[in-house]
Amino acid sequence: MEGSSLGKQGEGEGQVAKKSHKALQKFLQEAQIILDQNQLLINEVNKNHESANPEDLGRNCGLIRQLYDNLKRVTDLYGGVLTSLAGQSEATTSSGPTETLSDQ
């Protein structure tokens, strides 16, 4: 590599790092909100199960479905982050950064 391209690449990497950090924080906040919702759902499922009331037990089906949907959302978030980081790493090592987490 030439010296001038190294300097430009170094500057770009700093900008990419800032964008990546900000996007990662956003992802972590989203994931935490979903996981907090899941904790509330789990508590409600447990309470319904302990009550043994047929109405409450029937409600658990919907709550468990919500839990599943939330877990899928978190899994999709992680998948998106991993894909972005892999693409970012590849771009940084070849010709400089071209994609960041915030581009998603």
Residues 5-18 have pLDDT tens digits of 444 555 566 777 78
Residue 79 maps to a domain = yes
Give the Cα separation of 72 and 92 in Å (integer): 30
Query: Which two tokens mark 3?
Result: 């010296």
Report yes or no: 48 and 63 within 8 Å, Cβ to Cβ: yes
**Span 43-59, pLDDT tens digits:** 999 999 999 899 999 99
Q: Calculate the average pLDDT of the chain.
A: 80
Report yes or no: 56 and 46 within 8 Å, Cβ to Cβ: no
**pLDDT score for 18:** 81
DSSP annotation of 96 reads S
What's the domain count of the chain? 1
Report yes or no: 66 and 41 within 8 Å, Cβ to Cβ: yes
Residue 65 maps to a domain = yes
Residue 4 maps to a domain = no
Range of the domain at 89: 28-97
Burial of 101 (0-12, 13-18, 19+ CB in 10 A): buried
Query: Does residue 36 or residue 20 have the better pLDDT?
Result: 36
